[in-house]
């Protein structure tokens, strides 16, 4: 039996210990905010925060996160009003929206590590997250806005 | 394949290809608006009133202008408005209900949007494709809103015993200003429902100067908050009790099938419950599934692991030798010989022979994959002769038809619930994944989710075609272009519907080939044959991408050859402000729109060029290694011009410091979403210029994921994209927005690269061409 800490709650898993965190979250825990996009850590749609770092859930197994705090979009902020979420809404960032949870989690992790990133640092930190709709200009501006106060 | 063609029942694109005719029964199943009070009244007459005509009523099932179908008012005043088109990021789920709210004077903060299930008899055409939603539904949605408003006003007037002309709906209530009385929409709902639906002819539409929402850009997408907190529901997020998770190993070669398989190792994977062969259809078969071997498991991860453990022997079939380099050579050979003439003015042969010089450009664009962030996925629950589907589909009505036909049950027995689409781009116009889920659910007797992996999406999709566009331009001594011959060779989307289709259909020829707007005395467009070897489908902007790339690159090539400014040359080629007469073109598509309302108007094309040149600082001096490029293109009956500034360093690495785009999309609804579509189009355009290429070897796609089919990431994206929307002249019909931004981007960037480096790129993607 594997015990996991997700959004401050304990979750148990008695299946394959190599199951990726992504499919555990989505299919077993019902936390569907975290998205599947590539399965190979190429697109960032499945980004969650483990302890204080952005992690791609698709290449992380459930056993990798034992004893660590996993935060998904559902646990990022109790009312959904994290500075990044607010900035995203203020600048109307999303188009289809599918990648945006991963983008938001990546941005939130960036701001933990670097509360005042420059535009170049934002571009660098967000480069692992693909948006096929092409919302990048707004993503960059929203991360900047979140870092300067919404 | 049983081929019966009845043009009246075909979808727009199918008019040009022979396909199975699906009988369309009349369905009037209720939407089941939760807690709502559906306006119920005698059936209204069909509308005739419209300031302009669109092709909406020629689409299957046309339009339905009926407030009882689209509007419900609850006693608490909450107005529910139905969105019957699919949301894939364009904002249509917000824009169309907003139009209704505007006309009915509803307060947007008290409006809820409900997504329609697939039922075209009830809602009208639902095929969210071709950048059609706003242009086909602006007027019908206004009429629906105005009808609802008139009914509310009528009910209030009766209650007060005053003439209806003395009352007026204002911001969610009806007011009688003479007496100062007012009553809220919620209190009027029951009475309003008893009012007869007014005839469309007599409706009073709001004066645009009184608009609160339309054209303002102040309303955010209705799904914005849900998206940012992770509760927005996409196809992949649907979960049903007892649902099984499936992935399918599909034939790697189009037209292939399973010869034999061994699922023993897969069955040993933890969580795997079943391995089974699934039915496939011979190619081509429209949107029917490819078949293969399915692995059913308790979660998607287990299903994928199980699939990896399968041993399958495939019978590749007739496309097993498809190879991209050889196929390109075939296309080039075809482009160098005469082909079917699809437009002819003057005598191009004689004019080319008599020209002072001839400039020849041959432009190649490979297959492209859509790679929407959400790969295809669908959930189905089939019980007996009933089926319920939850899926991110662009065409809910088409999905319902195809699922019903495949299962052999009446359409009334199929419910298609449309989730949000995690990107569409044309891929999700084809509902093969929903049919797969339905077939598996029927077989297993349980709800099933079929999840496509990214590799499935890249390798088993419906790709953008592959093309060679060859243009010969003849110039006289003064440098004036006197002859233009354009040969376009590409496998057609028609090949996905009917075996042996080798010519492009009118809807493809009409995307930048036969509608070429330059004022040249001798013009000939030809379409030599090309056979398909994989499934070809729509990709955002479709054939406009290679055509704009070729035509607008050639315009800049001529400018260079005659030592003129790109923009001046472009304007000279577009020529005088005029309405194009294309008498030699048989079956001019014009995006399905009547030519009287949507003619090819070179004045509008000139205007976007001039606007973007002005606002975008055309001719400004740029640093060394930088260059400016311009391109303009009409598509989806909108007019767009783009300027790209590029910087190419000494290692051939390119960056884009600035993009400027002007769009004339006629009367518009939501400028904020127009801006976002154009910003996104620049990214998609840049992706296909820089990276996009799907290649085949031994009949198989050689790419599989974002590593070998890269798309633009934020660190390569343009530093800034500026968007200028042309204010519409009064009564200009609305035109497309979702797609038209893509085509001019590639040639504008390519022309900028030439300006920066002197290197003329005629093969996309650029890949390593700038490194040499």
Taking contacts as CB-CB distances below 8 angstroms, the residues of chain A near B222 are none
Q: Are residues A87 and A72 in the same domain?
A: no
Q: Which residues does B681 contact at the CB level (< 8 Å), separation at least 6?
A: A134, B661, B739, B740, B741, B742, B745
B308 has a chain A CB within 8 A of its CB = no
Residue A71 forms contact with B (CB below 8 Å): no
Question: In this structure, are B252 and B272 located in the same domain?
Answer: yes
Q: B380 lies in a domain? A: yes
Tokens of A113: 């590590």
> Which of chain A's residues have a Cβ under 8 Å away from the Cβ of B683?
131, 133-134, 136
* Confidence check: pLDDT of B17 > 60: no
Same domain as A6, residue A59? yes
- A93 and A68, same domain (yes or no): no
Residue B303 has pLDDT above 90, yes or no: yes
* pLDDT tens figures, B702-757: 999 999 999 999 999 999 999 999 998 888 999 999 999 999 999 999 999 999 99
Q: How far apart are CA A101 and CA A94, in angstroms?
A: 10
Residues B359 and B244 in one domain: no
> DSSP characters for A36-57?
-S-SSSSS-TTEEEETTEEEEG
For the question of whether the overall pTM of this predicted structure is more than 0.90, the answer is yes
> Which chain B residue's Cα is nearest to A44?
B373
Q: Does B715 contact A127 at a Cβ distance shorter than 8 Å?
A: yes
The last residue of a domain, from among A76, A101, A128: A76
Q: Do A101 and B682 count as a contact with CB atoms less than 8 A apart?
A: no
A7-16: per-residue pLDDT in tens? 999 999 999 9
Paired sense of beta strands B244-249 and B257-262, if any:
unpaired
Q: Report residue A149's pLDDT band, with 50, 70 and 90 as the boundaries.
A: confident
Q: Are residues B50 and B192 in the same domain?
A: yes
CA B543/CA B527 separation, integer angstroms: 13
Residue B17 in any domain: the answer is no
Q: Residue B242: give the domain boundaries.
A: 235-318+376-451
A134–B224 CB contact, under 8 Å: no
User: What is the longest distance spanned by two Cα atoms in chain A?
Assistant: 45
Percent of chain B with pLDDT over 90: 92
pLDDT of residue B729: 85
| Tokens 């790697």 sit on residue | B252
Residue A7, H or E segment: none
Tell the burial category of B353 from Cβ atoms under 10 Å away from its Cβ (0-12, 13-18, 19+).
Answer: exposed
pLDDT at residue B109, as a whole number: 98
Residue after which a domain boundary falls, among A37, A55, A76: A76
Residue among B228, B236, B723 with most chain A CBs within 10 A, to mutate: B228
- Residue-averaged pLDDT of chain B: 93
How many angstroms separate the CA of residue A40 from the nearest CA in chain B? 8
The answer to whether B110 and B79 are in contact (CB under 8 A) is yes
Chain A contact for B454 (CB, 8 A cutoff): yes
Per the domain annotation, does B89 fall within a domain? yes
Mutation site, A137, A141, A145, interface B, largest B CB count within 10 A: A137
CATH (domain of A104) = 1.10.150.120
Whether chain A has a CB inside 8 Å of the CB on B374: the answer is yes
Q: Percent of chain B, pLDDT > 70?
A: 93
Query: Taking residues B288-298, what's their average pLDDT?
Result: 98
- Position B103 pLDDT exceeds 70: yes
Strand partners, B124: B63
Size of interface A-B (CB pairs under 8 A): 192
CA distance A67 to A70: 9
Q: CATH code at B507?
A: 3.30.365.10
Same domain assignment for residues A63 and A114: no
Q: Does the distance separating the beta carbons of B422 and A98 come in below 8 Å?
A: yes
- Is B495 found in the same domain as B354? yes
Phi and psi at B259, nearest 5°, equal: -90, -50
Which one of A46, A76, A106 terminates a domain?
A76
Task: Read off the tokens for B237.
Answer: 């997020």
Span A129-140, mean pLDDT? 98
Q: How far apart are CA B292 and CA B258, in angstroms?
A: 6
- The whole-number average pLDDT for the span A19-37 is 98
Residue B490 and residue B530 in contact, taking contact as beta carbons nearer than 8 Å: yes
**Does any CB of chain A come closer than 8 Å to the CB of residue B301?**
yes
| Token pair listed for B96 | 């169309």
Nearest to B707 among A24, A42, A129 (CB): A42
Q: Which tens digit of pLDDT belongs to each residue from B608-661? A: 999 999 999 999 999 999 999 999 999 999 999 999 999 999 999 999 999 999
Residues in chain A with CB shorter than 8 Å from the CB of B682 are 134
β-partners of residue A87 are none
Mean pLDDT, to the nearest integer, of B452-459?
A: 98
Q: Which chain B residues are within 8 Å of A142, Cβ to Cβ?
A: none
Asked if residues B172 and B149 have their Cβ atoms less than 8 Å apart, the reply is no
What tokens were used for B654?
């390119």
Q: Is there a domain that residue B529 lies in? A: yes
pLDDT for position B659: 98
Residues of B in contact with A99 (CB under 8 A): 373, 422
pLDDT at B18 over 50: no
The reply to whether A101 touches chain B by the CB within 8 Å rule is: yes
Q: Do B684 and A45 touch (CB under 8 A)?
A: no
Beta strands A69-71; A2-6: pairing state: parallel
Return the pLDDT at A15. 96
Checking if the pLDDT of B412 tops 60, the result is yes
**Would you call B374 and A96 a contact, using CB atoms and an 8 Å cutoff?**
yes
Residue A109 has pLDDT above 80, yes or no: yes
Q: Where are the beta strands (DSSP E) in B230-339?
A: 244-249, 257-262, 272-278, 292-297, 311-315
Q: pLDDT tens for residues B33-80?
A: 333 333 433 333 333 335 689 999 999 999 999 999 999 999 999 999
Q: Are residues A92 and A137 in the same domain?
A: yes
* Whether B120 and B172 share a structural domain: yes
* Contact yes or no for A57/A97 (Cβ under 8 A): no
Q: Are residues A70 and A9 in the same domain?
A: yes
Q: Please tell me the predicted confidence (pLDDT) of residue B162.
A: 98
B194: closest CA of chain A, how far (Å): 39
What pLDDT sits at residue B730? 80
Q: Indicate if ipTM > 0.95.
A: yes
* Domain-ending residue, one of B182, B201, B227: B227
Q: How far apart are CA B491 and CA B501, in angstroms?
A: 8
Asked if B329 reaches chain A (Cβ–Cβ under 8 Å), the answer is no
- Interchain contact, B682 vs A138, CB within 8 Å: no
Same domain as B430, residue B502: no
* Res. A59: pLDDT tops 60: yes
Query: What residue numbers bound the domain in which A13 lies?
Result: 2-76
Q: Do B241 and B125 fall within a single domain? A: no
Nearest CA in chain A to B722: A137
Chain mean pLDDT for chain A: 97
* Facing residue for A132 by CB, picked from B239, B451, B711: B711
Q: Do A126 and A71 share a structural domain?
A: no
Please tell me if residue B201 touches chain A, with a CB cutoff of 8 Å: no
Q: Using alpha carbons, select from B261, B280, B272, B265 the residue that is nearest to residue B296.
A: B272
For residue B706, give how far its alpha carbon lies from the nearest alpha carbon of chain A (Å). Answer: 6
Q: Is B310 helix (H, G, I), strand (E, B) or coil?
A: coil
> Among residues B498, B757, B730, B769, which one has the least CA distance to residue B624?
B757
Residues A55 and A87 in one domain: no
Residues ≥6 apart with Cβ < 8 Å to B488 = B335, B467, B468, B469, B504, B509, B513, B525, B526, B527, B543, B546, B547
The answer as to whether B15 is a domain residue is no
> Which phi and psi (to 5°) does residue B158 adopt?
-65, -45
Is the domain of A108 the same as that of A48? no
- How many domains, in total, are found in chain A? 2
Q: Which residues fall within 8 angstroms of residue B547, CB to CB, at 6 or more apart?
A: B469, B488, B511, B512, B513, B516, B633, B743
The CATH code of the domain that includes A54 is: 3.10.20.30
CB pair distance less than 8 Å for A129 and B714: yes
pLDDT confidence band for B163 (50 / 70 / 90):
very high
B407 part of a folded domain: yes
Same domain, A99 and A51: no
B473 touches B554 (CB < 8 A): yes
Whether residues A34 and B714 touch (CB distance < 8 A) is answered with no
Are A61 and A97 within one domain? Answer: no
- Asked if A90 and A129 sit in the same domain, the reply is yes
Map residue B403 onto helix, strand or coil.
helix
Asked if B689 has any chain A CB less than 8 Å from its own CB, the reply is: no
CB contact under 8 Å between A89 and B421, yes or no, is no
Picking from B298, B373, B683, the nearest residue to A37 by CB comes out as B373
Distance of CA B211 to the CA centre of its chain: 28
Distance from CA of B273 to the nearest CA of A (A): 13
Return the DSSP state at B147: H
What is the Cβ-side half-sphere exposure of residue B627, based on CA atoms within 13 angstroms?
A: 22
Q: Does residue A11 belong to the interface with chain B, where contact is any CB pair within 8 Å? A: no
Mean pLDDT (whole number) for B95-101: 98
Cα separation, B505 vs B527, in Å, equals 10
- A56 vs B: CB within 8 A: no
Number of domains in chain B: 3
Sign of torsion over alpha carbons A105, A106, A107, A112: positive
Which of B228, B269, B714 comes nearest A123 by C-beta?
B714
For helices B396-407 and B432-444, what crossing angle results, to 10°? Answer: 40
Same domain, yes or no: B534 and B633: yes
B:603-622 residues touching chain A, CB 8 A cutoff: none
Residue B771 lies in a domain: no
- Residue corresponding to tokens 């002197």: B758
In terms of Cα–Cα distance, which of B602, B683, B672, B692 is closest to B642?
B683
Residues B195 and B243 in one domain: no
CA B689 to chain centre: 20
* Cβ(B19)–Cβ(B107) below 8 Å: no
**pLDDT value at residue B731:** 80
Q: Are B370 and B423 in contact (CB under 8 A)?
A: yes
Q: How far apart are CA B167 and CA B162, in angstroms?
A: 8
Other C-beta atoms closer than 10 Å to the C-beta of B475 total: 18
Give B327-370 pLDDT, tens digit per residue: 999 999 999 999 999 999 999 999 999 999 999 999 999 999 99
Asked whether the predicted pLDDT for residue A20 surpasses 90, the reply is yes
Token output for B108: 């947007």
Which one of A26, A88, A137 has the shortest CB-CB distance to B721?
A137
Do residue B440 and residue B476 come from a single domain?
no
Give the residues across from B634 on adjacent strands: B639
- Alpha-carbon dihedral B345, B348, B354, B356, rounded to 10 degrees: 90
**What stretch of H or E contains B379?**
strand B377-383
Asked whether the predicted pLDDT for residue B161 surpasses 70, the reply is: yes
Task: Map residue B378 onto helix, strand or coil.
Answer: strand
Handedness of CA B708, B710, B714, B716 (dihedral sign): positive
Taking an 8 Å cut-off on Cβ atoms, the answer to whether A36 and B713 are in contact is no
Q: Which residues make beta-bridge pairs with B481?
A: B475
CA distance A107 to chain B (A): 12
* Predicted local distance difference test score (pLDDT) of residue B142: 97
Give the count of beta carbons closer than 10 Å to the beta carbon of residue A104: 30
Is residue B356 assigned to a domain? Answer: yes
Contacts of B230 in chain A (CB under 8 A): 32-34, 72-74, 101
pLDDT per residue over B184-225, tens digit each? 999 999 999 999 999 999 999 999 999 999 999 899 999 999
């Amino acid at each position: 039996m594997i015990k996991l800490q997700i959004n401050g709650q304990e979750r148990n898993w008695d299946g394959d210990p190599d199951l990726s965190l992504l499919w555990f979250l989505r299919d077993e825990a019902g936390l569907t905010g975290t998205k599947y996009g590539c399965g190979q850590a190429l697109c960032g749609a499945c980004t969650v925060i483990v302890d204080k770092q952005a992690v791609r859930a698709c290449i992380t197994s459930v056993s990798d996160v034992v004893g660590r705090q996993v935060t998904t979009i559902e646990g990022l902020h109790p009312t959904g009003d994290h500075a990044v979420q607010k900035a995203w809404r203020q600048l109307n960032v999303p188009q289809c929206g599918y990648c945006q949870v991963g983008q938001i989690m990546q941005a939130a992790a960036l701001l933990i590590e670097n509360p005042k990133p420059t535009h170049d640092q934002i571009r660098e930190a967000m480069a692992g997250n693909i948006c096929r709709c092409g919302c990048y200009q707004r993503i960059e501006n929203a991360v900047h806005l979140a870092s300067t106060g919404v | 394949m049983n081929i019966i063609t009845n043009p009246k029942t075909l979808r727009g694109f199918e008019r040009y290809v022979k396909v199975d005719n699906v009988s369309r029964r009349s369905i009037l199943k209720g939407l089941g608006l939760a807690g709502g009070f559906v306006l119920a009244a005698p059936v209204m007459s069909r509308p005739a009133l419209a300031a302009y005509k669109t092709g909406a009523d020629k689409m299957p099932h046309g339009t339905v202008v009926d407030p009882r179908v689209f509007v419900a008012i609850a006693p608490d005043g909450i107005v529910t408005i139905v969105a019957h088109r699919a949301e894939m990021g364009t904002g249509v789920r917000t824009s169309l209900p907003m139009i209704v709210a505007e006309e009915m004077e509803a307060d947007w903060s008290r409006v809820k949007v409900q997504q329609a299930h697939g039922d075209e008899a009830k809602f009208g055409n639902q095929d969210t494709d071709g950048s059609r939603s706003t242009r086909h539904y602006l007027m019908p949605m206004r009429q629906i809103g105005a009808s609802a408003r008139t009914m509310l006003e009528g009910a209030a007037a009766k209650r007060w015993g005053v003439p209806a002309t003395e009352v007026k709906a204002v911001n969610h209530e009806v007011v009688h200003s003479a007496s100062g009385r007012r009553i809220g929409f919620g209190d009027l709902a029951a009475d309003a429902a008893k009012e007869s639906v007014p005839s469309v002819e007599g409706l009073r539409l709001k004066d645009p100067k009184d608009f609160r929402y339309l054209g303002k850009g102040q309303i955010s997408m209705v799904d914005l908050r849900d998206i940012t907190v992770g509760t927005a529901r996409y196809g992949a997020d649907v979960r049903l009790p007892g649902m099984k998770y499936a992935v399918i190993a599909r034939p790697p070669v189009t037209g292939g099938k399973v010869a034999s398989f061994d699922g023993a190792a897969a069955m040993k994977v933890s969580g795997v419950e079943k391995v089974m062969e699934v039915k496939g259809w011979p190619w081509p078969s429209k949107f029917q599934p490819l078949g293969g071997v399915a692995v059913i498991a308790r979660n998607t991860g287990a299903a994928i692991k199980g699939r990896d453990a399968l041993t399958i022997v495939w019978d590749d079939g007739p496309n097993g030798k498809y190879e991209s380099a050889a196929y390109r050579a075939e296309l080039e050979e075809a482009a160098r010989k005469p082909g079917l003439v699809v437009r002819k003015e003057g005598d191009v042969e004689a004019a080319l022979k008599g020209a002072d010089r001839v400039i020849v450009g041959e432009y190649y664009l490979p297959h492209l994959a859509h790679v929407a962030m959400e790969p295809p996925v669908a959930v189905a629950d089939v019980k007996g002769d009933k089926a319920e589907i939850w899926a991110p589909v662009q065409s809910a009505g088409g999905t319902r038809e195809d699922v019903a036909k495949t299962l052999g049950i009446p359409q009334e027995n199929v419910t298609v619930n449309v989730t949000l689409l995690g990107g569409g781009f044309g891929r999700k116009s084809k509902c093969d994944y929903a049919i797969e889920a339905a077939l598996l659910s029927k077989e297993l007797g349980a709800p099933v989710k079929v999840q496509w992996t990214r590799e499935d999406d890249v390798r088993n999709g419906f790709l953008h075609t592959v093309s060679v566009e060859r243009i010969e331009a003849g110039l006289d001594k003064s440098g004036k272009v006197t002859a233009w011959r354009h040969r376009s060779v590409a496998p057609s989307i028609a090949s996905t519907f009917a075996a042996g289709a080798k010519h492009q259909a009118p809807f493809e020829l009409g995307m930048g080939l036969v509608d070429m707007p330059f004022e040249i005395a001798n013009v000939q467009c030809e379409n030599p044959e090309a056979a398909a070897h994989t499934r070809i489908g729509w990709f955002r902007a479709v054939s406009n991408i290679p055509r704009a790339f070729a035509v607008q690159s050639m315009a800049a090539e001529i400018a260079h050859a005659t030592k003129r400014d790109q923009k001046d040359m472009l304007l000279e080629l577009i020529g005088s402000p005029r309405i194009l007469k294309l008498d030699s073109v048989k079956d001019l598509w014009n995006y399905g729109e009547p030519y009287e309302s949507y003619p090819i108007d070179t004045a509008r094309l000139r205007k976007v060029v001039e606007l973007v040149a002005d606002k975008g600082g055309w001719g400004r001096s740029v640093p060394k290694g930088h260059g400016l490029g311009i391109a303009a293109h009409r598509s989806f009956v909108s007019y767009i011009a783009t300027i790209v500034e590029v910087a190419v360093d000494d290692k051939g690495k390119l960056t884009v410091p600035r993009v400027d785009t002007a769009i004339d999309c006629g009367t518009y609804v939501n400028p904020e979403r127009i801006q976002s579509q154009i910003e996104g189009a620049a990214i998609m355009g840049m992706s296909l210029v820089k990276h996009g290429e799907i290649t085949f070897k031994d009949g198989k796609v050689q790419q599989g994921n974002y590593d070998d089919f890269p798309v633009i990431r934020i660190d390569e994206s343009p530093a800034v994209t500026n968007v200028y929307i042309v204010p519409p002249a009064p009564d200009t019909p609305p035109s497309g927005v979702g797609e038209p931004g893509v085509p001019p981007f590639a040639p504008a960037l390519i022309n900028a690269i030439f300006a920066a480096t002197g290197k003329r790129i005629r093969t996309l993607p650029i890949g390593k061409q700038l490194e040499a």
